[in-house]
C-alpha cells in the first residue's frame, strides 16, 4: 500500500448521514455512473438507509462533491459501493482520499475484509491497499432477474392475483 495524499485543502469528509444530499447523489448515480444508470429514486433511498454513507464537502459552501456507500455488519464484512466524485472536482485526489477515509473509519471495527467491484479504477483502489481476490474461484454471486423485482416495496406485500388473470380457470377441487 502506498501513502495516500491528504485530502485537498478546502474539503472535508463526513460520515454524518444528515449531510448527504440524497437528491444530488441520486442524480449523479442514476445519470452518470455506469453501475447505477436509471436507478429509481426509491431504490436509491432504500440503499442509502441500509448503509453507511460518506461524503466529501466543500468547506466554504458546504456543497457535497463526492459520495461513497458501505454495506456492512460492522463486525466481519463490508462492501464498498457507489463511489462517485462530481466531474467538476475530479483530478484533485478527492476519490482516493474519500476511500482512504472510509477504510480508516472501518478499521477499528476489526472487519475481516472490505470488498468492492470496479470496471476501471483498479489503480486508484490499489493506492489504498485493495488488491485482486487471491482465490476468486471461491467467490460466487447470485443475480436476481431485475424483471422479477418490483419497483415499489409495497408490491411485495400485495396478494398474488395470478389466478384471477384472464383465461385462468380454477377447478372446484382447487387444482388448476
Segment 38-54 mean pLDDT: 97
pLDDT, tens digit, 9 for 90 and up, residues 1-18: 556 778 999 999 999 999
- Specify the pLDDT at position 88: 97
Q: What is the CA radius of gyration of the chain?
A: 21
In the numeric block, which cell numbers belong to residue 126?
490499489
Quick check: 13 and 55 in contact, CB under 8 A? yes
DSSP state at residue 30: H
pLDDT, tens digit, 9 for 90 and up, residues 102-114: 999 999 999 999 9
- Specify the pLDDT at position 156: 44
- Specify the pLDDT at position 16: 97
pLDDT, tens digit, 9 for 90 and up, residues 112-139: 999 999 999 999 999 999 999 999 999 9
In the numeric block, which cell numbers belong to residue 122?
483498479
Quick check: 97 and 8 in contact, CB under 8 A? yes
Q: What is the pTM of this model?
A: 0.80
Q: What is the DSSP string of 82-136?
A: EEEE-GGGTTSSHHHHHHHHHHHHHGGGT-SEEE---SS-HHHHHHHT----S-G
Amino acid at each position: 500500500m502506498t501513502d495516500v495524499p491528504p485530502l485537498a485543502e478546502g474539503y472535508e469528509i463526513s460520515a454524518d448521514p444528515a449531510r448527504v444530499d440524497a437528491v444530488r447523489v441520486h442524480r449523479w448515480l442514476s445519470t452518470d455512473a455506469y453501475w447505477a444508470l436509471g436507478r429509481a429514486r426509491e431504490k436509491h433511498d432504500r440503499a442509502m438507509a441500509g448503509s453507511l454513507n460518506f461524503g466529501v464537502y466543500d468547506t466554504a459552501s458546504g456543497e457535497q462533491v463526492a459520495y461513497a456507500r458501505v454495506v456492512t455488519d460492522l463486525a466481519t464484512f463490508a462492501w464498498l459501493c457507489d463511489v462517485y466524485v462530481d466531474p467538476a472536482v475530479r483530478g484533485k485526489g478527492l476519490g482516493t482520499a474519500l476511500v482512504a477515509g472510509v477504510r480508516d473509519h472501518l478499521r477499528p471495527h476489526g472487519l475481516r475484509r472490505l470488498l468492492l467491484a470496479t470496471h476501471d479504477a483498479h489503480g486508484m483502489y490499489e493506492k489504498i491497499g485493495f488488491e485482486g481476490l487471491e482465490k476468486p474461484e471461491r467467490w460466487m454471486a447470485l443475480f436476481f432477474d431485475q424483471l422479477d423485482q418490483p419497483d415499489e416495496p409495497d408490491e411485495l406485500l400485495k396478494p398474488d392475483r395470478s389466478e384471477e388473470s384472464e383465461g385462468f380457470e380454477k377447478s372446484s377441487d382447487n387444482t388448476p
